[in-house]
């Protein structure tokens, strides 16, 4: 693990709190076996799912889970899809590429926009750009107030790109030591990212860290760190040394972070009154078998109040899980099977 400069924080701790009930609502069957990578909830409540070994974007209706997956669009010149984010109502940006599952690197990484507004009879798909010089595009984030811009994590280079969805231009927006990758492929740095309330929040896979950095949009519409602000370490996945890594994540209404955590859990990261952060496992388990197998991302549902309190988790084992966060409940202890290959 790389050492990097951080704001000193009084306390970093991780404990196992009350477990919320996690249930598998969809399991990708063999031989299709989708290695789910990322997801986003539409206003309708339907979920859009990407898999790093499928060029097809799929939809899932949580209110009719027996229906399974519905293909939405199949992208050309790729064999996998990575990050996805909603940039305008029912318009999404998504990454495609040829994904090497062993090296965890991509080729021909391309950003698309997919407009699912019902005014079009079919999805309106536009190629934005092949992003040159990136090694793989992973987590995507909007830039609040600038729907034509996104940020994209590049865990292979350990940097965050800014991509203009209108011009296709890209630039490295963040290259902080807390994001860096500490070895050759398949090492991974910065992975899940989200901009919220003046901070860029991000996980770093191999560093096993979750951090944030104050950011702002400058006069050139470039996302930059605010002043000389330093990265703040919020949490380190524990216990260390067992491939425990933070991955994709979402915020709840209170701004708390719910992070998919390899090998089998969801971690809730909360800021205490004194400004320090506390992390607890709230679904699944990092020790022993877990119902959640290699979680890749997590997003709250949309639509009804019940959906908004349900955290959906994708996994590299082809699972989509629903975590009911409305009430603490004894965790499920279903067995897990062999480790699956995963993209990152």
Ligand X SMILES: *[C@@H]1O[C@H](CO)[C@@H](O)[C@H](O)[C@H]1NC(C)=O
Q: Which of 37, 48, 53, 95 binds ligand X (CB under 6 A)?
A: 53
Please give the full DSSP string across 163-224, using - where no structure is assigned: EETTT--EEEEE--GGG---SSTT---EEEEEEETTEEEEEETTTTEEEEEEEEE-TTS-EE
- Which region among 27-35, 244-252, 290-298, 302-310 touches ligand X (by CB under 6 A)? 27-35
List 281's β-bridge partners, or say none.
16, 267
| Residue number, 237 or 317, with CB nearest to ligand X | 317
Q: Which of 10, 132, 239, 241 binds ligand X (CB under 6 A)?
A: 132
List 204's β-bridge partners, or say none.
190, 209
Closest C-alpha among 161, 162, 159 to residue 180: 159
Q: Which of 63, 70, 74, 77 binds ligand X (CB under 6 A)?
A: 77
Q: Which of 228, 330, 337, 338 binds ligand X (CB under 6 A)?
A: 330
Residue 317, interface with ligand X (CB under 6 A)?
A: no
Q: Which residues, numbered 28-47, are part of the site for ligand X (CB under 6 A)? A: 31-33, 35
8 in Cβ contact with 27 (< 8 Å): no
- Which region among 26-34, 190-198, 226-234, 297-305 touches ligand X (by CB under 6 A)? 26-34
| Residue number, 32 or 240, with CB nearest to ligand X | 32
How many CB atoms are located within 10 Å of the residue 60 CB? 20
* Rg value, the chain, Cα: 18
| Residue number, 23 or 216, with CB nearest to ligand X | 23
Q: Minimum CB separation from ligand X for residue 168, in Å?
A: 10
Q: Minimum CB separation from ligand X for residue 109, in Å?
A: 9
Q: Which of 63, 70, 74, 133 binds ligand X (CB under 6 A)?
A: 133
Q: How far apart are CA 125 and CA 122, in angstroms?
A: 9
Q: Minimum CB separation from ligand X for residue 107, in Å?
A: 6
Spatial CB neighbours of 113, under 8 Å, sequence gap ≥ 6:
87, 91, 92, 93, 94, 125, 126, 128, 165
Half-sphere exposure of 84 (CA within 13 A, CB side): 31
Strand ordering across the sheet containing 36-41: 36-41, 47-51, 56-60, 69-74
Residue 107, interface with ligand X (CB under 6 A)?
A: yes
Q: How far apart are CA 308 and CA 285, in angstroms?
A: 23
Residue 12, interface with ligand X (CB under 6 A)?
A: no
Q: Which of 2, 9, 17, 21 binds ligand X (CB under 6 A)?
A: 21
Half-sphere exposure of 285 (CA within 13 A, CB side): 12
Strand ordering across the sheet containing 105-115: 80-88, 91-100, 105-115, 124-130
Binding residues with ligand X: total (CB under 6 A): 16
| Residue number, 58 or 212, with CB nearest to ligand X | 58
Residue 96, interface with ligand X (CB under 6 A)?
A: no
155 in Cβ contact with 189 (< 8 Å): yes
Residue 329, interface with ligand X (CB under 6 A)?
A: yes
Residue 135, interface with ligand X (CB under 6 A)?
A: no
Q: Minimum CB separation from ligand X for residue 78, in Å?
A: 8
Binding stretches for ligand X (CB under 6 A): 21, 23, 31-33, 35, 53-54, 77, 107-108, 132-133, 329-330, 341
């Amino acid at each position: 693990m790389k050492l990097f400069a951080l704001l000193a924080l009084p306390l970093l701790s991780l404990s196992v709190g009350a477990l919320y009930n996690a249930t598998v609502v969809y399991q990708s069957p063999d031989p299709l076996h989708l290695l789910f990578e990322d997801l986003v909830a539409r206003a309708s409540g339907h979920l859009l799912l990407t898999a790093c070994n499928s060029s097809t974007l799929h939809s899932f209706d949580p209110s009719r889970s027996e229906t399974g997956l519905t293909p939405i669009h199949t992208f050309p010149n790729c064999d996998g899809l990575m990050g996805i984010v909603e940039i305008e109502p029912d318009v999404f940006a998504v990454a495609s590429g040829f994904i090497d599952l062993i090296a965890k690197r991509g080729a021909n990484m391309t950003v698309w926009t997919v407009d699912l507004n019902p005014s079009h009879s079919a999805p309106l798909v536009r190629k934005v750009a092949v992003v040159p010089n990136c090694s793989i595009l992973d987590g995507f984030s909007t830039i609040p107030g600038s729907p034509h811009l996104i940020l994209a994590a590049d865990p292979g280079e350990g940097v965050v790109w800014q991509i203009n969805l209108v011009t296709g231009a890209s630039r490295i927006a963040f290259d902080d030591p807390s994001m860096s990758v500490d070895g050759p492929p398949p090492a991974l740095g910065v992975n899940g990212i989200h901009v919220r309330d003046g901070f860029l929040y991000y996980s770093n896979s191999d560093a096993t860290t979750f951090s944030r950095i104050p950011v702002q949009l400058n006069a050139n519409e470039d996302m930059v760190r605010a002043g000389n602000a330093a990265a703040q370490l919020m949490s380190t996945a524990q216990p260390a040394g067992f491939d425990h890594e933070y991955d994709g994540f979402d915020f709840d209404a209170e701004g708390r972070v719910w992070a998919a955590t390899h090998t089998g859990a969801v971690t809730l990261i909360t800021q205490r009154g004194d400004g320090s952060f506390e992390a607890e496992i709230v679904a699944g388990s990092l020790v022993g078998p877990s119902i959640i197998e290699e979680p890749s991302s997590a997003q709250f549902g949309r639509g009804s109040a019940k959906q908004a309190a349900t955290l959906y988790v994708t996994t590299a084992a082809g699972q989509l899980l629903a975590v009911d966060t409305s009430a603490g409940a004894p965790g499920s202890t279903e067995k897990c099977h062999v480790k699956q290959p995963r993209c990152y």
